[in-house]
Structure 1
Amino acid sequence: MNSFKQKLQHIMDWEYFPILVFTFLILIFHLFVRPSGDDIIYGTVFYKEPVLTFIQDAYFNWSSRIIIMPVAAFFAGNSFWLFAIANILVYFLLATMISKLFVYENKLQANWVIVFLLVCVPFVTMMTTAGWVVTNIHYLWPLTFSLVALYPIKKIYFNEVFRGYEYLLYLVATVFGMNMEIVAAILVTLYSVFVVYFATKKKFSLYLLIVLLVLLGNIVFVFICPGNGVREMQEIIANYPEYATFGIIQKLAVSATSFVFSIDQNFLLLITTGLAWFFSWQTYKKWPFRLIGISPFIFCIMVNTVRVIVLSPKFNHLFSLVTGNTIHEWITFSGITNGYLGFFHYLGLVLMTFFVIALMLMTVLLFKDSNKLGIAILAVGASVMSRVVMGFSPTVYVSGARTFLFQYIAMVIFGLIMYQEFNPLMRAENQQRLFWVLCFMGGCGYLESFFKLI
């Protein structure tokens, strides 16, 4: 009996045990979800035409995702449990790669924090928007493989040795990830930054240079792919005709309002901005700095409040009882997401601009004396830009919640970096309290997703 307890304790003390727990929690999701929406459409593809014909049709008529789309069609057309096994492994890989890229010490505790933050990501509502199978493969898989693609940068930075087979694995992950446009932009940006950085440090890497050239070639491929232009025109005609007349400012306004009205109810942004508020108030005693620290948290509270006001039938009913009018006489979701831009769109742009400025200032203030300042800025910058680029797509509202995945994972990374940087500076009892607060919030976030399944 004692031997069994020792073995169990040994497993629980393993630094990757939290990620096994996360994987099990994701497995539970797969017991309840089933193919739907685009899963059904993709599932019939290879009964109608050969793979190469499907890829050719996609290239000329729909999308440059000529790698992702046939993979999605394959899994959608076979047993759901074949996909479930592969998908669960991808979720495991997601958490593992965040750990390998951004955790340097006290790995067991840090990996628990990764799990607490990840379970607050509303995977269920995001990944069922176009079908569980298709949405995961089009969004989660490229994002996860992009983290694998970034791992060589860390190994080169720390002068770690590459095994021969690793080059092939990293290259395959890069090719799959870059087939998704947002991921392609992220990878080419980061590889460009680090190729230049390593060049200044006289640390030349032929592998990084080759991958950068592949990434740049892929960007050209995305722009010249005729299917992307065809799809954009079809989406504009079908979903957002006015979009064809928009300039840069109008598209930025659309991006800003889509953040407010398309985001899911979730705990993640509240936790990460709440941590920033807490740590900034621990670090600074002057009120101007404290106001900068709390501003992003207040903004997130406002966003959640606006969503309740506009989207909640119960609130609308209460408003009608009190005022005799409906809130929808003033503002409606359909009014925001259709037609020409109005006051609320530009108000959203102004507020989002202040939010982004406060977020970046908060990040600089928190990490100005830390060697993690660059990573923190990259994480927050990736979070912001992942939403900005959505304004340049006519499907910004139609795509809905799933497009927030990139922002959420960037904020998971930012929250992890903050925790590792500032938690050790607190007293031991406060560290323990914060750990259990994150555990409680993670539990609430997971239950929120779980209850949407049953």
Structure 2
Amino acid sequence: MRFLINEIIKLYKWRYFPFVVFTLGMLLFHSTIKLGWGDDHEYLMVLNKSNLNVMPFIIHRYFNWSSRVIIEPFLIKLVHFQWLWRILDTAVMVIMSVSISKLIPSSDIRRSNWIIAGIIFIYPISHMSTAGWIATTMNYSWPLAFGLFSMIPIKKILFDEKIKSFEYIFYITALLFALNQEQMCAIVLSVYLVFTIYLIIKKRPNLFMFVQSILGIASIIFILTCPGNYVRKISEVKRWFPEYPNMSLLRKIEMGYSSSLFQFIINPNIIFTLFSGLLLICMIITNKKGLYKVMAAVPFATSIIFGYLGGLLVEVLPIVDFVKNSMTEFGTGIEIFSVTSWLPDVIITFSLVSVLFSLYVIFENKKYSMLSIFIVLLGFGSRIIMAFSPTIWASSLRTFIFMYFAFIICSVILFQVILDSKLKKYIMLSTSVIGFFAGLEYLKLFA
């Protein structure tokens, strides 16, 4: 009995125990999900049609619809084994969490892991149901998880940590899966290219980094030259966005720019509010100049005023109503000769600049400043490139996942500043607050 109690105590004190709790929570959630609808149903029919096995279907898709020739074979098979998806998708979420933990250095790994688990619970996972749970997760959250996992060797190489021979197989396999999704391909390629070049500049070139970069370049070429992607674009224009071909390049970029920031800054968004709140706290506890604190307060104040108090302030402050309703299917509807129409873009741009400026100022070690800024811009860029797709609106909220996790990862990095400060004793309170909001998020799904 004493042995059992000691083992339970050891488990509780284990630095990865937060992910044990996270796994149990995810298993519980996945056991309640209703499957078999949306694109899941369409993929379910593939193997039910006469003499149509997976490969002919994938070849047909390559020439007529999609370059996701690695993801879709697994998807077609897995829709027939829903119980297996429930287990594997839970495992993927755990891989995502552990990967973030492995990527971010911490002076208190266990507490940092509680933060990671809690914030990921807050992520609005219902976004991963927009096209059917299995199809959406395997095309978005799975590439994200494997993409993060494939970046772990970058950190190991930078910190001169040993990489075992068999690990390379897992890293390359994960990379290939992640690269088969367009947004994640752009992210992973950017990360590997930047750090490969960095190591070359530091006269520490690494063959594995070079190989991963080449795989990324090959994947982006494969995606851009896939005939199915072109055919699909024509079809999607007719179905979802007939006016798309007539839009100028500048109009499309503004549409991607404004729609991306609106989701986080103007609309109620608990992840961004948490991130911007941490940004302000970190600026305060690092004793920066008063003006810097004001700058750090801008994103947080904007998210509160427009996101959470917007409904109450629309009659008192007409500008709030104007900004909140300025988004159209073409972006914020900017008119060149109308100063007022530029206002929404000015507000979100000022908030973005404040975020980037604050991230640069907060960290004494400017490597962390540049890394945090790089992460935010990668997430932001992954959503802006949706402006070059006529499904920017039809794809709904699932395309925001990479931007969401950019803010999640930066939130975890900001928590390290708090962990190293005199406010460390308030961390458990912060964790409890995160847990509370995470619980509310999942209660919505169970309701």
Q: Deviations over 1:110-135 (max 9, x none)?
A: 11111121111111x21111111111
Give the alignment of 1:327-346 within 5 angstroms. Answer: 336-337=328-329, 341=333, 346=342
Q: Aligned partners of 1:284 and 1:32: how far apart in 2?
A: 47
Q: Deviations over 1:315-345 (max 9, x none)?
A: 89x98xx9xxxx99x8997982379945698
SS at match of 2:47: helix
In structure 2, what is the equivalent of residue 312 of structure 1? Answer: none
Q: Is residue 416 of structure 1 aligned with residue 424 of structure 2?
A: no
Q: Aligned partners of 2:226 and 2:437: how far apart in 1?
A: 43
Q: Is residue 446 of structure 1 aligned with residue 433 of structure 2?
A: no
Q: Deviations over 1:207-231 (max 9, x none)?
A: 2212211111111111111111111
- Letter of the 1:34 partner, please give it: K
Q: Aligned partners of 1:347 and 1:242: how far apart in 2?
A: 25
C-alpha spacing 1:160/1:440, structure 2 compared with 1 (3 Å): same
In structure 2, what is the equivalent of residue 174 of structure 1? Answer: 175
Moved more, 204-213 or 86-95: 204-213
Q: Is residue 291 of structure 1 aligned with residue 291 of structure 2?
A: no
Give the alignment of 1:270-349 within 5 angstroms. Answer: 270-284=273-287, 286-305=289-308, 309=311, 336-337=328-329, 341=333, 346-349=342-345
SS at match of 2:203: coil
Q: Is residue 18 of structure 1 aligned with residue 18 of structure 2?
A: yes
Do the aligned partners of 1:242 and 1:340 also contact (CA within 8 Å) in 2? no
Q: CA deviation at 1:108?
A: 0.7
Q: Aligned partners of 2:91 and 2:287: how far apart in 1?
A: 42
Moved more, 431-440 or 139-148: 431-440
- Letter of the 1:416 partner, please give it: V
C-alpha spacing 1:334/1:83, structure 2 compared with 1 (3 Å): farther
Q: Deviations over 1:244-284 (max 9, x none)?
A: 12223212322244236656854221111101011112224
Q: CA deviation at 1:150?
A: 0.9
Question: Which of the residues 356, 362, 366 maps onto 2:358?
Answer: 362
Moved more, 375-384 or 225-234: 375-384
Q: Aligned partners of 1:380 and 1:435: how far apart in 2?
A: 26
Moved more, 136-145 or 295-304: 295-304
In structure 2, what is the equivalent of residue 432 of structure 1? Answer: 425
Do the aligned partners of 1:195 and 1:208 also contact (CA within 8 Å) in 2? yes
Q: Deviations over 1:345-373 (max 9, x none)?
A: 85443332222211111111112545422
Q: Aligned partners of 1:231 and 1:446: how far apart in 2?
A: 39
In structure 1, what is the equivalent of residue 193 of structure 2? Answer: 192
Q: Aligned partners of 2:415 and 2:135: how far apart in 1?
A: 34
In structure 1, what is the equivalent of residue 99 of structure 2? Answer: 97
C-alpha spacing 1:371/1:220, structure 2 compared with 1 (3 Å): closer
Q: Aligned partners of 1:94 and 1:56: how far apart in 2?
A: 30
SS at match of 1:65: coil
In structure 2, what is the equivalent of residue 122 of structure 1? Answer: 124
Q: Percent identity?
A: 30
Do the aligned partners of 2:333 and 2:341 also contact (CA within 8 Å) in 1? yes
Do the aligned partners of 1:23 and 1:92 also contact (CA within 8 Å) in 2? yes
Q: Deviations over 1:183-206 (max 9, x none)?
A: 111111111111111112222222
Q: Is residue 392 of structure 1 aligned with residue 388 of structure 2?
A: yes
- Letter of the 2:250 partner, please give it: I
Unaligned regions of 5+ residues in structure 1, if any? 310-314
Q: CA deviation at 1:296?
A: 1.3
Q: Aligned partners of 2:236 and 2:262: how far apart in 1?
A: 20
**Which protein has greater RCO, CA pairs closer than 8 Å, 6+ apart?**
1
- Letter of the 2:425 partner, please give it: Q
Moved more, 173-182 or 196-205: 196-205
C-alpha spacing 1:396/1:303, structure 2 compared with 1 (3 Å): farther
Do the aligned partners of 2:259 and 2:327 also contact (CA within 8 Å) in 1? no
Q: Deviations over 1:392-447 (max 9, x none)?
A: 22212211211111111111110111111233222xxx322243123223322332
RMSD (Å) for aligned C-alpha atoms: 2.7
Normalised to the residue count of structure 1, the TM-score between the two structures is 0.88
Unaligned regions of 5+ residues in structure 2, if any? none
Q: Aligned partners of 2:231 and 2:163: how far apart in 1?
A: 42
- Letter of the 1:99 partner, please give it: S
Q: Is residue 405 of structure 1 aligned with residue 401 of structure 2?
A: yes
Do the aligned partners of 1:256 and 1:345 also contact (CA within 8 Å) in 2? no
C-alpha spacing 1:89/1:285, structure 2 compared with 1 (3 Å): closer
Do the aligned partners of 1:64 and 1:228 also contact (CA within 8 Å) in 2? yes
- Letter of the 1:129 partner, please give it: T
- Letter of the 1:362 partner, please give it: S
SS at match of 1:304: helix
Q: CA deviation at 1:73?
A: 1.4
SS at match of 1:174: helix
Do the aligned partners of 1:145 and 1:174 also contact (CA within 8 Å) in 2? yes
Question: Which of the residues 369, 372, 375 maps onto 1:376?
Answer: 372
Do the aligned partners of 1:256 and 1:352 also contact (CA within 8 Å) in 2? no
Do the aligned partners of 1:114 and 1:416 also contact (CA within 8 Å) in 2? yes
